[in-house]
Each structure stands twice: as structure tokens, then as C-alpha cells.
Amino acid sequence: MLILKNITKIYGSDIVALDNVSFEVNSGEFVLLIGKSGAGKTTLLEILRREEEPTKGQIYFKNKNLLELSRKRLGEIRRKISAIHQDFKLLNKKTVFENIALPLEILGKSAKEIKNEVYNIAEKLKIKSKLDQIAETLSGGEKQKVCLARCLISKPEIILADEPTGNLDPIASYEFIEILKEINKEGVSIILATHNKEIVESLKTRVLTLDSGRLIRDESPGKFTLI
């Protein structure tokens, strides 16, 4: 479903953030992206949503070359390839309801449709009681759930999660990963960037290892590829 070919990103004239990274992600797959700080995880995820442009390489999403899409169509892609960030990226002065509803408002849905869909998602993620609360008053775990709800409401095919548990306590982290597993079971592909060893060990799924911008390992349970 998602194919990356020789993605290279060079900042300035000589800072290589990504060096010829190539891999594929199939539909419904759960992929972990690991590496030290500065290994290029965030840059790679940003390139996948064209928040950054690669210096070289190709990205195909469902056989469409993402890098050839006009900027006008980026919105559509960003709803299909949704993102979760470590620092949540919520509208802190707005309510939980308003935050979750944002992608639907962009699509121009009616107030009734928005209300129904927001209530359904909130119920699923057990944050229905928080809908009228202002986002900045929530705990880290709750904020990350709101962020996830905002992703799910636009029915994404891939979720890119960049250190989503970085600001969460161990219990909230565990709970959040469990939710991601549930969502993955429903068919949504997930690429989770993390340097949390416990998550890597507990998930037993495919792991891509980045080191200084290079993809050095691609391991799946029972399968190991040294690149």
C-alpha cells in the first residue's frame, strides 16, 4: 500500500537526515520505527505526509506518486495518512468536541453529521464525558486520545504516530498502545516511531531500525533482514 524508494533528505549542503531509505508497508500492517534521537524518524514521518519534501526518492501510496500530487490535494492525503504527535498538536483553547470535529468541518459536513460522528468516536475511545472540556485542561493520556480521535474521524488508512507515548506515564502509555492495537486490528496500518524498548518488546511486530538516516535493519517476527 505504501512504498518508499530511495528517500534521501539533505538539509543545507551536507546534513544528511535520510540516506536512501526504501521499504514497503502493507495494508493493515503495524510497523515500529526505531532509532536513537536524530536518527531521522520524525523526518521520515514528515516526508510521508509531505510536511517535508525529500531531496531525492519516490513515495507511492496506493500506486499514486505522492510527490507528484499538487499542494491542493495534500489535504486529502493528510486525511488518509493521519498523524499523531508527541506534543499532541491540539487546539488548546478549544473544547475536545471542537478538536475532534475539525477534520469533518474541513470536509464541510453538516452540524448533525459532525455531532453523530464525534459522539461515536468519543464513545469508542471512552472520552465522551470529556467532550465539553477545554483541551488544555486534560491529562497527557486524555490529550493523546483526543488526538487519536481526531485522526480516526477522517477514517485514515495509515496512522503515523511519532513518539505518541513520549509524554505519557507508563499506564497511559500501555493503555494507548492497546488502543492502537485495536485500531490496527480493524485494518488501519500503523507506523509507530518510538525509542521505548518496552513497547518494542511487547508488540512483537515488524521493526524498522534507522541509524544516522540509514535504514539498517528490517525485522519481522520470524524474519530478519540486515540492510
Partner 1 sequence: MFNKIKKILRSGYNLFWQEKVISLINLGTTILVTFFIWFGFLSFYFFHQMINYLQQRLDFSIYFKTNVSREDILKIQKILQEFPGVIKVDFVPQEVALKKFQEEAKSNPVIAKALKELQSNPLVDYLIIKAENSEVYPKIADYLEKSPYKAYIDYITYFENQKVIKRIISISNQLRLLISALILVILVFSSLIIFNTIIASIYSQKEEIEVLRIVGAGNWFIRGPFFVYIFIFSFLGYIISLGILILFLMKTENFWPTIVSNFQPSNFISENFLILNLIAFGLILLINFVSALMSMEKYLQK
Q: Interface with partner 1 by CB under 8 A: which residues?
A: 51-52, 71-72, 74-79, 83, 85, 89-93, 102-103, 105-106, 108-111, 150, 154
Nearer to partner 1, 154 or 196 (CB): 154
Nearer to partner 1, 155 or 204 (CB): 155
Least CB distance to partner 1 at residue 123 (A): 21
Least CB distance to partner 1 at residue 131 (A): 18
Provide the 10 A C-beta neighbour count for residue 159.
Answer: 22
Least CB distance to partner 1 at residue 99 (A): 8
Nearer to partner 1, 67 or 77 (CB): 77
Nearer to partner 1, 2 or 83 (CB): 83
Q: Over the chain, what HEC string results?
A: CEEEEEEEEEECCCEEEEEEEEEEECCCCEEEEECCCCCCHHHHHHHHCCCCCCCEEEEEECCEEHHHCCHHHHHHHHHHEEEEECCCCCCCCCEHHHHHHHHHHHHCCCHHHHHHHHHHHHHHCCCHHHCCCEHHHCCHHHHHHHHHHHHHCCCCCEEEEECCCCCCCHHHHHHHHHHHHHHHHCCCEEEEEECCHHHHHHHCCEEEEEECCEEEEEEECCEEEEC
Q: How far, rounded to the nearest angstrom, does the alpha carbon of residue 108 sit from its chain's CA centroid?
A: 24
Least CB distance to partner 1 at residue 4 (A): 19
Least CB distance to partner 1 at residue 218 (A): 28
Nearer to partner 1, 45 or 203 (CB): 45
Least CB distance to partner 1 at residue 107 (A): 8
Nearer to partner 1, 72 or 197 (CB): 72
